[in-house]
Amino acid sequence: MKLDLVDVFGCSALWGNPLGVVHGGEGLNDAQMLQLTQWLGFSETTFLLQPSDPAADYRVRIFYPAGELPFAGHPTLGSCHAWLEAGGQPKQSGRIVQECGIGLVEIRSQHELLSFRAPELERTGPLEEADLAEALRVAGVAREAVVEAVHVANGPKWKLLRLRSADDVLEAQPAANAPAGTDVGLAGPHPDGEPLDWELRAFFANQHEQIVEDPVTGSFNAGVAMHLFANRLVEHAYVAAQGRRVGADGRVHCSRDADGNVWVGGRVATIAASASLPLFA
């Protein structure tokens, strides 16, 4: 059993969201997977397994410190990278298929980026008043800064507060605590002509009900992109920044293809490869 440390979505190595990827985790039970995830302390840790669906190239289980997730974005790209680096060969050249809790997720490699096809949103529509009040509290945002408040759930139950500007996003002061399972994110546009198009921040509650700001969040970026493209708030490919308030500097490349599929991508780099895990052997 081996462990890789991978950096996902960074503008360069060590500036993205770290991920632990365990190879050969078939012998671990749920409690051991969760314990290792909590010990590493990253937003998520993943466990590569043999696929059960014949259409998939590999299967992954995704854990965060409070439990298991059916889908998450930076773990999808980081797990795919680690699988390829370990010699994984996709059934179709240039198209990798991951099996996870929400089913099959397609991944492609293009122009030094790995990108996943954003899954369909499980819940959309405006936040109800109680949800909006709690999202404002968690994110530390003034109500007058909010342009729109909607659900963009795609595994994680993300609630999106679209703000007037990138500056509003960067100025938010999140709360310290929230119930486990809380997922609230912010998105605001940069002025026209700047190299970055959108600024994002994402907050979740860990197993101690403490608010954690995620460095760079693929699932939230996917939900935001699906919403922006569907509502014609963006027309072309764009680049979002995330993590600059927590010492990261992420870049997330979002686009829509001719068939209407939304793709979310970024750079992935191996930081340390195949450290053994004798405790779990």
| Residue 99 CA, distance from chain mean position | 16
Q: What is the pLDDT of residues 99-120, one digit of tens each?
A: 999 999 999 998 889 999 999 9
By the 10 Å C-beta count (0-12 exposed, 13-18 middle, 19+ buried), 142 is classed as exposed
CATH of domain 2-118+266-280: 3.10.310.10
Q: What is the pLDDT of residues 243-271, one digit of tens each?
A: 999 999 999 999 999 999 999 999 999 99
Whether pTM exceeds 0.85: yes
Q: Residue 110 has what pLDDT? A: 87
Q: Residue 280 has what pLDDT? A: 65
Residue 279: both structure tokens together: 């405790």
- For the cut 90, the answer to whether the pLDDT of residue 188 exceeds it is yes
Residues 6+ apart with CB under 8 A from 1: 22, 23, 24, 25, 27, 28, 276, 277, 280, 281
Domain ranges of the chain: 2-118+266-280, 129-259
Shared fold status for 2-118+266-280 and 129-259: yes
CATH architecture of the region 129-259: Roll (3.10)
- For the cut 90, the answer to whether the pLDDT of residue 200 exceeds it is yes
Residue 156: both structure tokens together: 């994680």
Residues 18-38: what's their mean pLDDT?
95
Q: Residue 111 has what pLDDT? A: 82
- For the cut 90, the answer to whether the pLDDT of residue 159 exceeds it is yes
Give the rounded percent of residues in the chain with a pLDDT score beyond 90.
Answer: 91
